[in-house]
Structure 1
């Protein structure tokens, strides 16, 4: 069974200049199209916002954390991931508790990062980390990072998510596959990360056929290495592929000192202005 469908988008597969073949029609900007999440297309009606996959520790990046709660400057934040020390750490961290508290007071969900290690992580360790995030930082849910994506993993992922919802009633659960998983995963969690990688891959990417049966609010895209000049194109790719939660950054994975998600984008204020102002949800 094929899971991929080519939804043409500006600069995407089949567009003029793409090495894969002749040009195909590109979805135009329509009258009344105010940007991602409006107008026609897969993402019509959805409100695009940010999912922050994990800034550096607040002591190392205080300005970045402060920028997320700056009045009128945080943009529509859907949620922010808290990663204290490859998880919740071994004891409560006051600076992380303070940073998480400021976000929650601003009405922003804070998710604890749990590393599934592609299904190799011990179930008991995963549950223990979830308890620590809930007890120490009062997180609103969890990002199950490096989540296995195949059909065989469904029972284990379902068991893990059930345990997380038992720990935190009403928890917001995001499965961090980083690719399109088997469609059965969509029935387990609130959101799926169906792309995580470089702009060079994202701009030619395709959406899975089964995603059209779900609203854009169910999908997240994390893209690094997005040039400032291609921000609008990246937002249109997300919109036409039906992903309402995004994180675009000009940082890359070529810098060995920090990961691409740890700093804020160099064009943070600009991307905020493109998506919208004011903390939401």
Structure 2
């Protein structure tokens, strides 16, 4: 495709300062260490997603409220998880869930997961984002495409997730040339199955491709049977150290 640039030849600078966007750990009762670790001072977090039960759930959860409050008190932005199901979810359902997140957990914004990527879906996504911004007053909106969308989406949200998938795909991935028109702060990469020995290579690809918000983990999706984001990477301390100090080649 003519508008793509390989990871090895991307024009982005390698001095990009990286930080983490956490796609959402398991429930705080299941993953208490993970949620506790996120509140540790000095961790370079851009935001953390709170996904209670594939959304806000049906009633306020005191454990999730406590976890979200602890992060917000530590100055960490907490985002609610809204599943767009590639455009299949009704506008009213999404807004109802967003209001629950705001009422119950006082979130700072939203990750619109499984966001459509095509041009025809853009007006409806823009309508949803405009409504969410009105509810938030001020807030942070991330579109979770998982790949490169039609360029017009970049004008709709604060950030786009332009890669979400396995290391086996990421290491050979390509970046759309239109992304060079925007700063790295606009783009996020989520990569699972990254071996410890390839961590620096993965960080280098993110910098080359111009994405400043990342989440890399050695957990895998086990062929689609498990959630690779549900628990902390085995090398969390190492990647926090590398990213937090701005380590580069």
**Is the TM-score greater than 0.5?**
yes
Structure 1 unaligned runs (5+)? Answer: 10-26, 28-40
Tell me the secondary structure at the aligned position of residue 207 of structure 1.
Answer: strand
**Match in the other structure for 2:2:** 2
Distance 1:6 1:97 in 2: 42
Shift of 1:5: 1.6
Aligned residue among 185, 189, 193 for 2:157: 189
Shift of 1:171: 1.4
Distance 1:185 1:223 in 2: 21
2:133 maps to 1:133:
no
Distance 2:149 2:83 in 1: 17
Structure 2 unaligned runs (5+)? Answer: none
Tell me the secondary structure at the aligned position of residue 96 of structure 1.
Answer: helix
May I ask how many residue pairs the two structures share in their alignment? 245
Distance 1:102 1:109 in 2: 11
Shift of 1:6: 2.4
2:236 maps to 1:271:
no
Contact 1:43 1:244 in 2 (8 A): no
Aligned residue among 73, 76, 88 for 1:108: 76
Distance 2:79 2:194 in 1: 25
Greater fraction helix? 2
Instruction: Deviation per CA, 1:117-176: give whole Å up to 9, x if none.
Output: 000001100000000111110000000000000111110110010010011111100000
Distance 2:193 2:49 in 1: 20
How does 1:79-118 map onto structure 2 within 5 Å? Answer: 79-118=47-86
Contact 1:43 1:243 in 2 (8 A): no
Aligned residue among 231, 234, 244 for 2:199: 231
Moved over 4 A (4+): none
From the CA coordinates, give the structure whose radius of gyration is larger.
1
Contact 2:15 2:207 in 1 (8 A): no
**Match in the other structure for 2:39:** 69
Distance 1:250 1:44 in 2: 23
Tell me the secondary structure at the aligned position of residue 121 of structure 2.
Answer: helix
Q: 1:81 to 1:146 in 2, by over 3 A?
A: same
**Match in the other structure for 1:15:** none
- Computed over aligned residues only, the root mean square deviation of the Cα atoms, in angstroms, reads 1.6
Instruction: Deviation per CA, 1:21-70: give whole Å up to 9, x if none.
Output: xxxxxx9xxxxxxxxxxxxx514554200000010000110011001112
Distance 2:16 2:140 in 1: 18
Contact 1:252 1:260 in 2 (8 A): yes
Distance 1:150 1:4 in 2: 17
Distance 2:192 2:132 in 1: 29
Tell me the secondary structure at the aligned position of residue 199 of structure 2.
Answer: helix
2:18 maps to 1:48:
yes
